[in-house]
Amino acid sequence: MTVDTIQPEKKEVGSFKMFQAMVGIGIICALAIVVTYQTTLPVITKNKAEALEKAIYKVLPGAQTRKNFQWDGQKFSEADPSDHSLKDVIYTGLDANGAMVGIAIEARGQGFQDAIQVLYGFDPEKQAIIGFYVLDSRETPGLGDKIVSDAAFQENFKALTARLDESGKKLEHDIQTVKHGTKSKPWEIDAITGATISSKAVGNILNHSAQYWAPIIKAHIDELRTH
């Protein structure tokens, strides 16, 4: 090889040129993203609402429609049902006549592998949990993930007492998970054999969440009804 065949180094590209290229490509990319976002947004919103509604109607038997309420620390106010970014939102389920069937509440906590996210139905009249649905979990397949499907375990949440004590500040009895086959009180959860840790995690999540929400709901029940 001779020196002639080696290509001379390219001329330094000016910073304006670089700027131009980056901005140009940036604009093309931004356009592509905006177009996709606008086209898919209605479908995604619909999908998300359907998934949530399916879960709400599962934990509140008899509910036909739902309303979102946001808790701001003082009172409940009705929230936009399509906004998924809001915090501290609970859902009221209404039957065909518009009467409230119950309240669906999201809760999460540490499971055996990772956080478990659940939705449960709370009946303020009976002061009991009336439905339970696992939104997301990574529990061990075949063991811990029975909390999602196990029929006997789901049976626990048809009427799980979460009654407030006289002070109205906390539950009269903590929700507790007990060994399989030893459930004797209405506030106890019968654990799944071989999945004691996941069952206990569910009990803790429900207890923690109910301790927080039940007093608030009791004190502000009118705000949830009148809207």
Interface residue list for other proteins (CB under 8 A): 10, 13, 17-18, 21-22, 24-26, 29, 32-33, 36-37, 40, 43-44, 47-48, 51, 112, 136, 140-143, 179, 194, 196-197
- Smallest separation, CB 38 to other proteins (Å): 10
CA angle 178, 182, 185 (to 5 degrees): 75
Residue 114 DSSP symbol: S
- Smallest separation, CB 60 to other proteins (Å): 21
- Smallest separation, CB 17 to other proteins (Å): 6
Give me Rg for the CA atoms of the chain. 26
Q: How far apart are CA 145 and CA 180, in angstroms?
A: 16
Decide whether 54 or 218 has the Cβ nearer to other proteins.
54
Q: How far apart are CA 70 and CA 151, in angstroms?
A: 32
- Smallest separation, CB 178 to other proteins (Å): 10
- Smallest separation, CB 221 to other proteins (Å): 32
94 strand-pairing partners: 65, 100
Decide whether 23 or 219 has the Cβ nearer to other proteins.
23
**Which residue type occupies 15?**
S
Decide whether 17 or 126 has the Cβ nearer to other proteins.
17
CB neighbour list of residue 38: distance below 8 Å, 6 or more residues apart: none
Residue 188 structure tokens: 């106890």
Decide whether 143 or 221 has the Cβ nearer to other proteins.
143
